[in-house]
Structure 1
C-alpha cells in the first residue's frame, strides 16, 4: 500500500478505535514517525475543491432529444 492509502485507512481507524490504534497501524506499516504524528494530531489540511470543470455549461433543455441534429447557428 502507498503511504497515502495507509494514512487514509489510519484516519478511518482513528475515528473508530482511537489515536493509539491508528498510530500502531501506521507503525506496523513502516510509515515514518513524523508523518504519522502530523497526520494523527492535526486537522484536515486539504484545500476546498474549486468549481467543477463543467459548472459553467448550460443545462440541457427538455425539448432536446438525444441523437437529434444540433441547431444551426
Structure 2
C-alpha cells in the first residue's frame, strides 16, 4: 500500500517513499518556506509556561540526575 500525505506548505499530494527526497514536502521550495516559518517563530511546538506551576524538590533532583547521566555519556564514542 502506498502512503500519500499532503505537503504541509501547499497541500499537494506526496507519495511517502524513498524517491520523494523532500518528504513530507513536495519540493525543496516548500521545504524552505516551512524552514523560514520556523525561523521567524511563526511555527511552535511548545505551549506557554504556566506561571503558577510549582517545581518540587523531587523534580529538581530528577532533572539533575538526568543531566549528570548525559554528561558522562557525552564524550564517549
Relative to the length of structure 2, the TM-score reads: 0.18
* Structure of larger gyration radius: 1
Greater share of strand: 2
Higher relative contact order (CA 8 A, sep 6+): 1
Relative to the length of structure 1, the TM-score reads: 0.19
Greater share of helix: 1
